[in-house]
Amino acid sequence: MPDQPTTPHIFSPSAIKVYSECPIKYELMYLDQWYSRQADRPFWGRVAGSAFAEGSAILNSPENFMTAVPECNLQLKIDLAIKAALKSITDDIDPFMKAGGILDRTDLENVKRDVAQALTKYANNSPFADWKEILHVEYGLGTLYGNCRLDVIGRDRHNVLSFADIKFKRYLDTQYVDKTVEEYRWDWQFLHYQWAMEKYFNEPVNAYLCLVRLKSAWQAQLFEFTYNAALIHSVGLSVGRYSEDMGHAIERGTALGTTHDTKFGPCAYKEACLKLQWNEDLMKQNYIQLPPRGK
């Protein structure tokens, strides 16, 4: 009798997405933790996104602040949110600098200013105001579902169990909003979240993008995404298949990506792969290795 099949380790939505783009990129980014030495646009995007997530989790929290913080008021919540966001920025910047990263101090101050400004506006314009209930913020579904971490879980205005993923953009021109929303609607992360949420809670789930942008105009808005059951079933099969492959990524050997440029510009590892062939001594001129966040 053959061995019972074992459930493969399920990888996170972001790791699967990177692996599907290029297995080498997954190894460099997730296994070896190589990053550009110079703080670039994607770096600041990640730093600002994480900081806004930490701050907005406090503002969205279902906990009773009257209990947690006596004589609480909106300004106190905003202050706590900004404090959490600034700590998140420090938690990202400190290991980056320690590893030899290079950044422009003006960029750092601009990120801090923009995140604080956006959290203040967000606190006064909550896009969740018409939800019946917020149940959880920053809620992890665990390893069986790829460690999905949902920004907000609650009951929407239709009283249906729902999740929302918050995307913070310091700058997104109004003319690109519709295109950006459509990209997120079919993005792997949202499909994976929908699959994981339905499995975890075993009931129908509504999905929302919470788009927050500071410039060129302020916007904090929910966009509802609807997916058909057959698609989400396929997503579940794909999660298993990718995870199985990724568990054997190293032993299966080199698999270069076939395209080294994205719509945002060249892949950050272009020099490491195509010119340096992953020679670590040479890579150290332009790349650093970072410990996982929080270590």
Q: Which of 16, 18, 22, 48 binds ligand SF4 (CB under 6 A)?
A: 22
Smallest distance, ligand SF4 to C-beta of residue 142, A: 29
160 binds ligand SF4 (CB under 6 A): no
Q: Which is nearer to ligand SF4, 157 or 260 (CB)?
A: 260
Q: What is the CA radius of gyration of the chain?
A: 20
Contacts of 69 (CB under 8 A, 6+ apart): 76, 80
19 binds ligand SF4 (CB under 6 A): no
Contacts of 90 (CB under 8 A, 6+ apart): none
15 binds ligand SF4 (CB under 6 A): no
Q: Which is nearer to ligand SF4, 72 or 255 (CB)?
A: 255
Using the structure block, give the residue that is written with the tokens 């298993």.
240
CA dist 159 and 105 (Å) reads: 46
273 binds ligand SF4 (CB under 6 A): yes
Question: Closest Cα to residue 119, out of 70, 170, 63?
Answer: 170
Listed ranges 78-86, 185-193, 221-229, 264-272: which one lies at the site for ligand SF4 (CB under 6 A):
264-272
Smallest distance, ligand SF4 to C-beta of residue 276, A: 10
Listed ranges 4-12, 209-217, 227-235, 263-271: which one lies at the site for ligand SF4 (CB under 6 A):
263-271
172 binds ligand SF4 (CB under 6 A): no
144 binds ligand SF4 (CB under 6 A): no
Q: Which of 20, 189, 270, 282 binds ligand SF4 (CB under 6 A)?
A: 270
31 binds ligand SF4 (CB under 6 A): no
Q: Which is nearer to ligand SF4, 28 or 235 (CB)?
A: 28
The one-character DSSP state at 175 is G
List 154's β-bridge partners, or say none. Answer: 134, 162
45 binds ligand SF4 (CB under 6 A): no
Q: DSSP of 121-137, one letter per residue?
A: HHHHS-TTTT-SEEEEE
Structure tokens at 200: 């975890």
CA dist 80 and 60 (Å) reads: 12
260 binds ligand SF4 (CB under 6 A): yes
**φ, ψ of residue 215 in degrees (nearest 5):** -135, 155
CA dist 76 and 80 (Å) reads: 6
Q: How many residues bind ligand SF4 (CB under 6 A)?
A: 12
Question: Quick check: 191 and 231 in contact, CB under 8 A?
Answer: yes
Q: How many CA atoms lie within 13 A of 178 on its CB side?
A: 1
Q: Which of 65, 257, 282, 289 binds ligand SF4 (CB under 6 A)?
A: 257
Q: Which of 234, 256, 284, 293 binds ligand SF4 (CB under 6 A)?
A: 256
Q: What is the number of other CB atoms lying within 10 angstroms of the CB of residue 118? A: 25
267 binds ligand SF4 (CB under 6 A): yes
List 32's β-bridge partners, or say none. Answer: none
Listed ranges 17-25, 80-88, 100-108, 140-148: which one lies at the site for ligand SF4 (CB under 6 A):
17-25
Q: Applying CB under 6 A, which residues contact ligand SF4?
A: 22, 24-25, 28, 256-257, 260, 267, 269-270, 273-274
